[in-house]
């Protein structure tokens, strides 16, 4: 197994540990979850670059890399929806999940026809912005609940009421735009006349 595929596999293996530390009530659990999520996000940035630069692109990587991204992001957003500490409703999660299913379906159809659906600029922008948003939310959780800095808790409440919902909805808008771009580009694969 080459290095990019090992990095992608590492991202998948980090997801259960991220979830564990988001839920387990031990000292600095949000900080540990933040480190794990950040490490997983870094592997996302590295694996594709290394694969393309060294000519190590494989079918395994083409399959697992986008899947790992989707599971990581959806896992984090699902945790946020469950948390009383974070103001996030289910609607953005449903929209984001629906887009991910749609793009995965398009990738499967394309693969059946021998076409590779590469990640476009909108998809990369969506992924990067969403991961930065998730990191920001966990960072604030860590400041408020791990370090129990009263100033950060007061600030977190203000951030939670305005900034976090705005960031989540921007991520959702980018998700819809990137999904529409994929759909437009590969509509011929699902044309009802065929």
Domain count across the chain: 1
Residue 72 corresponds to which tokens in the numbers above? 């990581």
Q: Rounded CA gap, 19 and 23, in Å?
A: 6
Q: For residue 38, give the CATH number of its domain.
A: 1.20.120
Is 172 part of a structural domain of the chain?
Answer: yes
pLDDT tens column, 118-170 = 678 898 899 899 999 999 999 988 988 887 766 667 776 777 778 888 999 99
Q: What pLDDT is recorded for position 150? A: 64
Q: What is the mean pLDDT of the chain?
A: 87
68-101 pLDDT per residue, tens = 989 999 999 999 999 988 889 999 999 999 999 9
Position 194 in a domain: no
Which distant-in-sequence residues (6+ apart) come within 8 Å of 55 by Cβ? none
| Domain containing residue 86 | 3-189
CA distance 79 to 82: 5
- Domain membership of residue 100 (yes or no) is yes
At residue 61, the pLDDT reads 81
Instruction: Give the tens place of pLDDT for each residue, 30-47.
Output: 999 999 999 999 998 888
Give Cα separations from 128 to 73, 112, 194 (angstroms).
10, 28, 35
Instruction: Please tell me which residue, 118 or 60, carries the higher pLDDT value.
Output: 60
Per-residue pLDDT tens for 106-118? 877 777 767 667 6
| Single pTM value for the model | 0.88
Any domain includes 179: yes
pLDDT of residue 18: 98
Residue 19 has a pLDDT of: 97
Residue-wise burial string across 124-139, b where 16 or more C-beta atoms lie within 10 A, e elsewhere: eebbebbbebbeebbb
What pLDDT score does 152 carry? 62
């Amino acid at each position: 197994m080459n290095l990019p595929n090992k990095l992608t596999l590492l991202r998948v293996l980090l997801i259960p540990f991220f979830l564990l530390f988001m839920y387990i009530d031990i000292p600095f659990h949000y900080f540990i979850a933040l480190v794990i999520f950040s490490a997983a996000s870094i592997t996302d940035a590295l694996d594709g670059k290394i694969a393309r630069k060294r000519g190590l692109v494989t079918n395994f990587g083409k399959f697992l890399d986008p899947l790992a991204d989707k599971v990581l992001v959806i896992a984090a957003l699902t945790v946020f929806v469950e948390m009383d500490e974070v103001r996030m409703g289910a609607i953005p999660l449903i929209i984001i999940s629906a887009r991910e299913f749609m793009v995965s379906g398009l990738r499967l159809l394309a693969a059946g026809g021998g076409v590779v659906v590469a990640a476009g600029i909108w998809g990369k922008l969506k992924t990067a912005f969403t991961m930065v948003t998730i990191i920001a939310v966990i960072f604030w959780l860590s400041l408020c609940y791990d370090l129990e800095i009263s100033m950060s808790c007061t600030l977190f409440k203000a951030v939670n009421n305005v900034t976090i919902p705005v960031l989540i909805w921007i991520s959702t808008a980018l998700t819809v735009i990137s999904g529409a771009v994929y759909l437009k580009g590969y509509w011929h694969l699902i044309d009802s006349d065929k």
